[in-house]
Structure 1
């Protein structure tokens, strides 16, 4: 597990800034993951996001899609999500409120029948 800077190591003068950085976007993703079995968080023009969505559609898996800008817009919102999740790329795919990774990890999980991902069963 990667080390995360302890809140004790953040100066009080910036603590609120750190803890509230686009927290509305983070809360939106948390709420979507709580309300839906499968959530894909992505961005326009990203081929891996398109691949993940197509893979889920072809597998008959219903999902909720949240999109935050493109390569040139809304990068601050995506940065907040990266900081929160620790996942540096898009898409971010959540199954049963658990981050499973991106498009490649989704492909691997769908190919592995031993994975217990009830939400990825065919609809």
Structure 2
């Protein structure tokens, strides 16, 4: 799969650093979490889907690290950096052993068919 990203040579040299550094802290924080935890859930307040994903993992007894960034009313610019980095358009963003596995419905399917346990080995 090749995800469409604007080629560097199509970005004016004067703004490349600005783009590369835009909310880099949030991306690096998530990168650090997925490098040190088997399962990471990235969510936001007020959104029921991250809460549902966490309940699903809690019920299955699967440990995870949860990172929360803002709510519907705050933090959207910072969260946009995560969307641009991953290509995943919604929250939660769930990572198993460093691999983006999707959101709540994808997690639910992986738990149901037992594949999540294999991804965490």
Give TM-score scaled by structure 2 length: 0.93
**Preserved CA contact (<8 Å) 2:39 2:64:** yes
The structure 1 segments of at least 4 consecutive aligned residues displaced by more than 6 Å after TM superposition are none
Gaps in structure 2 of 5+ consecutive residues: none
- Inter-partner Cα distance in structure 1 for 2:120 and 2:20: 33
Alpha-carbon spacing, 1:36–1:114, altered in 2? closer, same or farther (3 Å) = closer
- Inter-partner Cα distance in structure 2 for 1:107 and 1:10: 39
Task: Using the TM superposition, give the Cα deviation of residue 118 of structure 1 relative to its aligned residue in structure 2, in angstroms.
Answer: 2.4
Alpha-carbon spacing, 1:37–1:20, altered in 2? closer, same or farther (3 Å) = same
Alpha-carbon spacing, 1:9–1:109, altered in 2? closer, same or farther (3 Å) = same
| Mapping for residues 1-123 of structure 1, pairs under 5 Å | 1=1, 2-114=3-115, 116-118=118-120
Number of equivalences: 119
- Inter-partner Cα distance in structure 1 for 2:115 and 2:26: 33
- Inter-partner Cα distance in structure 2 for 1:90 and 1:113: 22
What is the RMSD computed on CA atoms of the aligned residues? 1.2
Kindly provide the CA deviation profile for residues 44-67 of structure 1, in whole angstroms up to 9, marking residues without a partner as x: 010101100000000100000000
- Inter-partner Cα distance in structure 2 for 1:67 and 1:113: 26
